[in-house]
Amino acid sequence: MFKVGDIVDLEITSVGSAGEGVGKVDGFAVFVARALPGEKIKARLTLVKKSYATGKLLEINQKSPHRQRPVCEVFYKCGGCQLQHLDYPGQLKVKEQQVRDALERIGKFSDVQIFPVLADKQPLNYRNKMQCPVASQDGLKLGFYEVGSHKVVDVRECHIQNQVNNTILTVVRDWIRKFRISVYNEQTGKGLVRHVLGRVSSATGEVMAGIVCTQKSMPHKEELIEMLKLSIPNITSVVQNINSRRTNVILGDITKVLYGKESIADKIGEFTFQIAAKSFFQVNTKQAEVLYKTALDYAQLTGEEQVVDLYCGIGTISLFLAKQAKKVWGIEIVDVAVEDAKINAKANGIENVEFFKADVNLALEKISKKTRLDVVVLDPPRAGCDKALLDTIVNSKPKRVVYVSCNPATLARDLRILVDSGLYELVKVQPVDMFGQTSHVETCVLLSHKNPQTSPPSL
C-alpha cells in the first residue's frame, strides 16, 4: 500500500495529541508535525504502520487562516512547544476538539456538554518553573531537547518561560564559559553540570536558581552566586542538587543551599505554598487557580460534605476543598509530597484535612468502609486510573465525582468505565488551557450519582 518515502497529498482535518496535523489518504491516517486543520499539504512518509503513518511537511498548498509566524526562532527544532505556528484562538479551538474527539471516539459519549476552553490571559511567559539540560554537542548548549531525541537545542530566550528564568539560563551559560566548567556527557557519564533550574513566584517575586551536578564539589560557586545576584537583585535562593546516577531522572536525592533559603513562597488563590527545589507545584499559577476553582465549583460543597482527594500531591486542591467541606482526606503515594501537603495545611491554618501516604485504591476502600463519602476528587497522572480504583470509586458511592485530567484519551477511557457502572452520569466537561503554545490541555469533569444516598454520614 504505502511505504516510507512516498509523497502524499493531504487535507488536514484535525490535530493529534502531540499537536500534529492529521489527514487521511484513501482512508489511511497520516500524522504530520506543524500542519494545521484546514490546510492542504504535501508530505513525505517517514514511518508506515498497519493503521497509520507519520510524514514530514514538504509543501503547503492551502494555508490555514490561523497560521502565524512563531515568536521563537528555534520553534521548528525545539520540542518544548507544538503550536506556536497556530494563533491563540486557533489553539483553543484545537484543544476543545481534542477533548471532544477523545470523549466521542474513545469514550463513545454523545451529546456531552463540553464548554469552551477557559483561556489564559497570558499564554506567553507563563511558566514559573524551568529545568533545562546542559550539553556539549557541537559547542555548549543550554535549552531543551529536540522532539524524540536527547539532542539539546540551544535556547537564548524561551517564550513560555518567565523572563527571570531566561535570565538564569543566560547567567549560567556565561558562568560555564567564563570558568570553563565541565558539562555532563550522557554517553560517558563524565562532566559536572547536568541541568539548570529556575523557579519564580508570581505572588512574592521570590526567585530560586539551581544547578544539578554529578558531584558535591562545585568550583567557582561563589562567582556564580555573585553573577546571579548582579543580574537578579531579588534572588532569594541558589541551590545545588547532586545527581550522580546515569539516568534520565533530573533531580537526585541531595539538595544543598548555596545562598539564601531552601524554598520560596508562592500563592494559588488565597493559599500560600513553600516550594523547594524538588517540590511539585503547578507551572502556571494563575491558570491553576482557574482549574481548582472549577473543581471546587463542580464539587458543590455546602460545608457538610466529606471529601476524598486522590493523587493530592502537595495538597493544593485539598486546601481549596477544605475551606468549604466538613472534612477532606488527601491521599498520595509520594512521601515527600505528603509531607509538603501537611506543612502547607498547617501554614494556611487548615485543620479539617488529613493527608496520608498510601496507595489511593487501598486508602479509598478503607475510608469508604468507615465513612459515607459525598465527593471524590481525583487528579491522576497521564496514564489515568487502574480499573481497580475506578471500581472502588463506584463501590464507595459518592454523590459526585470530580475528575481532573491532563490526558483526554485516558480521561475518556476512565469516564466510560465509571458511567458503564450504571450508577453515574456524565454531567459536564470544562477544558482549561494551562499550557499555551503546547498541545496539552487540562480538563475538569463532573459525574453525578443517579441515586445518591440521603442518610446522614457515619462518623
Mean pLDDT over 52-79 rounds to 95
Reported pTM:
0.92
The model's pLDDT over 314-345, given as tens digits with 9 standing for 90+, comes to: 999 999 999 999 999 999 998 889 999 999 99
Say how far apart CA 229 and CA 171 lie, in whole Å. 10
Contacts of 239 (CB under 8 A, 6+ apart): 197, 208, 209, 210, 211, 255, 256, 257, 258, 262, 277
DSSP β-ladder status, 442-449 and 400-405: antiparallel
Q: How confident is the model at residue 108 (pLDDT cuts 50, 70, 90)?
A: very high
Contact 139, 149 (CB under 8 A): no
Asked which of 140-149, 236-245, 291-300, 422-431 is least confident by mean pLDDT, the reply is 140-149
Q: What is the CATH number of domain 129-276?
A: 2.40.50.1070
Contact 237, 261 (CB under 8 A): yes
The model's pLDDT over 110-137, given as tens digits with 9 standing for 90+, comes to: 988 999 999 999 999 999 999 999 999 8
Instruction: Answer whether 7-67 and 97-120+284-449 agree in fold.
Output: no
pLDDT of residue 459: 42
pLDDT of residue 361: 96
pLDDT of residue 137: 81
| Percent above pLDDT 90 for the chain | 90
Tell which residue, 145, 141, 178, has the closest CA to residue 156: 141
List the chain domain ranges.
Answer: 7-67, 97-120+284-449, 129-276
Mean pLDDT over 90-112 rounds to 95
Model confidence at 207: pLDDT above 50: yes
* Stronger pLDDT, 130 or 247, i.e. the higher one: 130
223 three-state secondary structure? helix
CATH superfamily of 7-67: Nucleic acid-binding proteins (2.40.50.140)
Q: How confident is the model at residue 458 (pLDDT cuts 50, 70, 90)?
A: very low
| Percent above pLDDT 70 for the chain | 99
- List C-alpha distances in Å: 341 to 22, 198, 365, 392: 42, 22, 21, 24
CATH superfamily of 97-120+284-449: Vaccinia Virus protein VP39 (3.40.50.150)
pLDDT of residue 280: 87
Query: What does the block give as the cell for 151?
Result: 539532542
Model confidence at 278: pLDDT above 70: yes
- Ranges assigned E (strand) in 95-139: 129-136
pLDDT of residue 440: 96
Say how far apart CA 302 and CA 321 lie, in whole Å. 10
pLDDT of residue 454: 55
* Cβ atoms within 10 Å of 3's Cβ, excluding its own: 8
pLDDT of residue 150: 86
Active-site annotation, residues: 406
The kind and range of the H/E element at 82 are none
DSSP 96: H
The model's pLDDT over 354-383, given as tens digits with 9 standing for 90+, comes to: 999 999 999 999 999 999 999 999 999 999
pLDDT of residue 457: 45
Residue with cell 480504583: 389
Please count the residues of the chain: 459
191: left (phi over 0), alpha (psi -120 to 50) or beta: left
Model confidence at 27: pLDDT above 80: yes
For all residues of the chain together, what is the average pLDDT? Answer: 95
Query: What does the block give as the cell for 331?
Result: 491521599
pLDDT of residue 456: 44
